[in-house]
Structure 1
């Protein structure tokens, strides 16, 4: 029988402070995406490829009594409303309080880029409140998304902090396992974790954080080399999340060692200085929507029939980064350029869904598609004649190597497959909720074989490539407008620390001096 008790609380959000509509993220958004209380989390997430799933598996393997309080996650978007933030924070804190006399450790699978409407940091104050309840001697382990903005308070109030090393995020469960294993080792007196982190003054463009290849792949290889050294427990590189205008936005390099503060500082600083020396490699320009579609069409025309589709990323509309998911610039270019056998998923447009539900499968109707959230994601495509090919309930299970986790069940609500454009050559999946098509099963559940398309586009940076690149014939990424646009030059920052590269021209010796 397990003698050690660990409390688990997971409250996650990637907050884009530049989102205008809706103004805040509410509890309803969590209910749509994920809200699980108590032991139901164990049944729902055991073996799942998410951080909480990894923590659950280690707890069972190492005979630890794990007590989940809540697991809550919402689609990235506007700042979390104050009442929503306080509800989940209070839930976790009160859950910890119930076990305060018996708790041996706490694990908090968080994101790291949460911004409540009334605070600049969502995770730091949450960890601090848990610390107040459990006291200074109970170890707290925190796992983060690679896009977290690590704050000083997060470091001060936790004992262990580790983050994903892959983007697309294919090591969520592995990170949960690491955080839980270090926690259990700490509880049993086998290790004594100490931490250090550095913050080089630079922004890493989100697509340049891609870890299967390129400069970030080399940096993560270096992190793994350090992590394999004796006395090193965890080494993380977080490119951060620059769509959050907060004072502590930016790149960080947290390192956890077994009682050796000097070693933690040495490794953290070497990683930060290497990132700084290579800062130009983490910035890039990408084609606009018209040029990107032309490039994808030409590329598809040169491929063999069995090569797979050209897959495109629509940056600005990316719901995974807070975008509206109703951007029209890529779709308009596809129609104008006569692209055939093409697909787009997922378009967020409740009005179009309702119109298609009223028309019914096999019927044609006229809709105004997309561009309804605000004026930043392209104009609505008006008077568009569409054929309603299929309607589903929007429920499907991730089956691929997915950024959101293999095995997770998605519930989008009523979802339609429409065809339009010359010869009805463009297909779009339209849903009433903002949802990321990170797993290709979203196409199959509505009757589309994505492997048989010539061109397909996902509103995303590169997270979708985890499942799509293996069957693709090529990749084209596009700098489209929107709340999730790739270039920080598109945004007006008021709170971030400056100067910072590339918004400011900095000499080599600016950092670390």
Structure 2
């Protein structure tokens, strides 16, 4: 008997989008991968792997943009059209049908004048691949799972770690689950059950890191539910707090072949989350930037390097990256004007400033203006006079990076915005973060390399498009009541799982959970 490999296509768009950031995300920002590139960037699908050999994989288009502002409608239409065109070609080349689709998304993308854009894109994809194709989605745990998205997928999973050290593991799990459903499903079973449980909780990632309680024990329960007989996958989404859409909230989804096991597992995870909803705290001590700097200066030289998260403009959470407020406050500190301290700031975009520094060269003293070209709500452009410490060309995000020494502060200026997560991001610029007294980074929770390096750390509650103080952002569209926007509930939330209709069946109307 000859085994025929299932035919599986790959498609999706990913961008974590703040609706409170004035920047806009354009099509090129997604750095699209097409055809074989979709397989090459995912080592677990290479032909040398078991999973790669288990199916016939066909890339359509995937794109992953740096988090930022709302995706323009033109950008979405351009990329969505190419996805459906390429999928049509894949379907036609395989006898007018394919068996599966891996839907590679983030889950918190927002498109101009569009609600629930990941579901909209999948609706369009379904028109090409048909209702019988099994769809497996992989997502960030800061994504959002509406009823509509849960309906159009057959399998859906997300990261189990924040920071996201299990990104590739999650994508591989989504693909493995898909292959298993296509090749090993029980006789007579066509699609798994999907138990979906929304929770009226919307918290920032900096209060829900799986390094700490209560998220630590909540997410630790996920593999146990998944190991239950009859369950294929279990997942918890924290949701995305910096977008104002009706779908944004925490959600649990459990999929599998046993209806009761899925229901029991989803409700167990839902209860764990809700019972702990008032226990979530920030991952580090918090304060104003001034208070954080006071603490850092007092700690020298004992706790060195001391990290401060300039959290309100974090470019990996959706901030525009060019808010100058933090650097302005830092430069103004009298203790840092002229001293033997070593302070690093990352970073502010300033194309003209970078150009001027490159023309002047390392060692030159220049005066430049940078920042606030996009987000000038909280502070205007900053003018700096300093010595060019280093220049680097060719970064995939920043393009060109310049370090300008202003007193004790080594300020990183970039051609385009860039996140600074790894030690090499600094050492490549002739900066030694381990030897610095203070490192101020536009970030929320520290990524693993920085976290391990830090001898002290505070989270500065600074302004920007991803302000940690959610209540001062002005959400208007999210469902209410919603914790922490509402502290009192007239009645406790409904912690019963809802079963979502199979993707090839109509989705019944719901006045509550749409």
Same fold flag (TM > 0.5):
yes
Q: Evaluate the alpha carbon distance shift between residue 476 and residue 443 of structure 1 in structure 2; reply closer, same or farther with a 3 A threshold.
A: same
Structure 2 match to 1:126: 121
Structure 2 match to 1:80: 71
1:23-172 to structure 2, matched below 5 A, reads 24-30=24-30, 34-43=31-40, 45-47=41-43, 60-100=51-91, 101-172=96-167
Q: Evaluate the alpha carbon distance shift between residue 386 and residue 164 of structure 1 in structure 2; reply closer, same or farther with a 3 A threshold.
A: same
Question: Could you tell me the TM-score, scaled by structure 2's length?
Answer: 0.88
TM superposition shift of 1:475:
1.7
Q: Evaluate the alpha carbon distance shift between residue 56 and residue 69 of structure 1 in structure 2; reply closer, same or farther with a 3 A threshold.
A: farther
TM superposition shift of 1:99:
2.7
Structure 2 match to 1:317: 313
SS for the counterpart of 1:312 is strand
1:211-230 to structure 2, matched below 5 A, reads 211-230=210-229
Distance 1:75 1:338 in 2: 35
Structure 2 match to 1:494: 476
Pair 1:510 & 2:492 matched: yes
- Asked if the contact 2:213/2:280 (under 8 Å) is kept, the reply is no
Pair 1:436 & 2:419 matched: yes
TM superposition shift of 1:136:
2.3
TM superposition shift of 1:180:
0.5
Pair 1:260 & 2:242 matched: no
Cα displacement string for residues 25-60 of structure 1 (whole angstroms, at most 9, x for unaligned residues): 111322xxx2221113333x143xxxxx66988675
Question: Could you tell me the TM-score, scaled by structure 1's length?
Answer: 0.88
Larger radius of gyration between Structure 1 and Structure 2: 2
Cα displacement string for residues 463-486 of structure 1 (whole angstroms, at most 9, x for unaligned residues): x42221112212211100011111
SS for the counterpart of 2:71 is coil
Pick the aligned partner of 1:454 from 431, 437, 458: 437
SS for the counterpart of 1:125 is helix
Distance 1:66 1:294 in 2: 55
Distance 2:267 2:5 in 1: 39
Structure 2 match to 1:269: 267
- Asked if the contact 1:82/1:116 (under 8 Å) is kept, the reply is yes
Bigger Cα displacement from structure 2, 331-340 vs 2-11: 331-340
TM superposition shift of 1:224:
2.0
Q: Evaluate the alpha carbon distance shift between residue 300 and residue 163 of structure 1 in structure 2; reply closer, same or farther with a 3 A threshold.
A: farther
Distance 2:425 2:293 in 1: 22
- Give the CA RMSD over aligned residues: 2.2
- Asked if the contact 1:160/1:256 (under 8 Å) is kept, the reply is yes
- Asked if the contact 1:391/1:416 (under 8 Å) is kept, the reply is yes
TM superposition shift of 1:393:
0.9
Distance 1:289 1:116 in 2: 33
TM superposition shift of 1:167:
1.0
Distance 1:219 1:509 in 2: 23
SS for the counterpart of 2:224 is helix
Pair 1:11 & 2:39 matched: no
Bigger Cα displacement from structure 2, 105-114 vs 94-103: 94-103
- Asked if the contact 2:51/2:176 (under 8 Å) is kept, the reply is no
Distance 2:87 2:231 in 1: 29
Distance 2:398 2:293 in 1: 27
1:331-370 to structure 2, matched below 5 A, reads 331-335=327-331, 336-339=333-336, 340-370=341-371
- What is the aligned length? 478
1:298-309 to structure 2, matched below 5 A, reads 298-303=298-303, 309=305
SS for the counterpart of 1:323 is coil
Distance 2:325 2:74 in 1: 36
Q: Evaluate the alpha carbon distance shift between residue 378 and residue 74 of structure 1 in structure 2; reply closer, same or farther with a 3 A threshold.
A: same
Pair 1:418 & 2:409 matched: no
* Structure 2 segments unaligned to the other structure (5+ residues): 496-514
Distance 1:36 1:151 in 2: 27
Cα displacement string for residues 400-434 of structure 1 (whole angstroms, at most 9, x for unaligned residues): xxxxxxxxxx342121111112xxx2112211112
TM superposition shift of 1:2:
7.1
SS for the counterpart of 2:221 is helix
Cα displacement string for residues 193-238 of structure 1 (whole angstroms, at most 9, x for unaligned residues): 2212211112223201211222111111011221222222211111
- Asked if the contact 1:237/1:254 (under 8 Å) is kept, the reply is yes
